[in-house]
Amino acid sequence: MNDDHADDSLLIVRAFAEPRAAHTRMTGVSSEAGVWVIVIDGQEQTVRIPWLEPVTDRSGLRTAVVALYQAACARLGVDPARH
């Protein structure tokens, strides 16, 4: 998520946590949520964003991130990027 999908992470954070985020990096995942460190006005903060549905296995993490990304695009009125 951090190297090849940095823009996707930023969209997720802006849609569901902090619209003013300038930079972000994903730092953790659980069955309930993803965790990102964000930068606002030069200060780092940690945000936790719940998945739309609980994740029950490792392969479900990718599905959860994609679903959250698509929901973020819809919320922000942005066309999803082709990956």
15-65 residue pLDDT tens? 999 999 999 999 999 999 999 999 999 999 999 999 999 899 999 999 999
Reported as a single tens digit per residue, the pLDDT across 40-49 is 999 999 999 9
Number of domains comprising the chain: 1
* Full residue range of the structural domain in which residue 39 is found: 6-76
Tell me whether residue 37 is in a domain. yes
CB count in 10 Å sphere of residue 51: 19
What CATH number did the domain enclosing 41 receive?
Answer: 3.20.180.10
Instruction: Examine residue 63 and state whether it is found in any structural domain, yes or no.
Output: yes
Which strands make up the sheet holding 43-50, listed edge to edge?
23-29, 33-40, 43-50
In a domain, 53, yes or no: yes
Instruction: Kindly state whether residue 83 falls inside one of the protein's structural domains.
Output: no
pTM over 0.75: yes
- For residue 1, is it within any domain? no
**Is residue 81 a part of any domain in this protein?**
no
